Amino acid sequence: MSSQNYTQHSLSHRIQFLVKHPQFVWFIGHTVLLLFSIRYLLSYITFSSVHHLFCYRTAFMGAILTYGIVVYKTYARISSQGKIDFSILMRIWMDENVQYLCISQFYTIKGFLLMFKVLAIMWFVSRPIAVSLIPYTIFSLFHFLTYFRSNILPTLNPNALKSDEKSLEASVCRHIQHLVKIYYESAMKLVSKVEVILIGTRVLIGAFA
């Protein structure tokens, strides 16, 4: 759908076009991951155990969904052409999205196991790794904001991305763009530190505990 035709369609048609696109499912994955990560981290900080294992598991299900879509769209065409060789396998293995997908699956499986250990002493020993959600949450926050600015708001108001537009949607778009521009680089540095220091330390402690 061209941008000119897009603006001429009714709101209901624009919404239908939005939700039928595969990227919307990707957005839903990030939304689920973001919401349930925040809910879990808040319950972890406040020592509230109500539904926190469910939130932990659901957050990583969102991660599997969103990173699975990215990996599938990236490599499905190569697979269908029968061009899988060692270089392609190495490329897949080195892909950051593949790594995050595999890690999220591990944490989700661990979450499932913990759900069945509620009545056992192992539940207290094998708690979920709370810090593992931090990088996913930060990534999802920026993906959520970017998609919301580039797709959701223009669906509601096709002129939202215009610099001279005075509507509420346009104002929110400019504000989101400003926030992402200011905080993205520092947020990525924080992710690197969390992965190396916090998660690395937590995994080492868990290995020897």
> Any idea which of 25-34, 74-83, 154-163 has the lowest mean pLDDT?
74-83
**131 vs 107 pLDDT, higher one:** 131
**Share above pLDDT 70 across residues of the chain, in percent, rounded to a whole number:** 64
Q: Is 82 left (phi over 0), alpha (psi -120 to 50) or beta?
A: left
pLDDT at position 19: 93
| 140-149: average pLDDT | 95
Q: What is the 3-state secondary structure (H, E, C) of 77-110?
A: HHHHCCCCCHHHHHHHHHCHHHHHHHHHHHHHHH
The whole-model pTM stands at 0.73
- Per-residue pLDDT for 198 more than 70? yes
Average pLDDT over residues 67-94: 61
